[in-house]
Structure 1
Amino acid sequence: MENKKRIRSLDILRGLAILGTLGTNIWLFTYLGCFLQAENTENCSEIYRDLQALF
């Protein structure tokens, strides 16, 4: 197998994209799941504010 030279900056951008996707998925599943399963939506607004503060 040929030893290919990797572009470090491209690897960093790919890593950031993966982390961004992970953060978005965590936010979506937490926020939407809260409203689908919770009887009391007051807790959902607190979770939403906390997640907005993180990201």
Structure 2
Amino acid sequence: MPDCPPDCAQFLILQPEREQRLLLCRCSRSANLPYCDGSHSPPASGLADRWRRFFGAR
């Protein structure tokens, strides 16, 4: 229950099965709007390269 204290018998713990990160498209070139598919940039070989393209050093 949402308002139940931690020692309550009906205490609920939610644990997601997996974490997913999504990038939203701001250039409108994506074929999968509203999500970014990298259409605005040259191809990247892996997920780390794709993330670096958005958040890493240029």
Task: Give TM-score, length-normalised by structure 1.
Answer: 0.30
Query: Larger relative contact order (C-alpha < 8 A, sep ≥ 6)?
Result: 1
Task: Give TM-score, length-normalised by structure 2.
Answer: 0.30
Q: Which structure shows the higher helix fraction?
A: 1
Greater Rg over alpha carbons, structure: 2
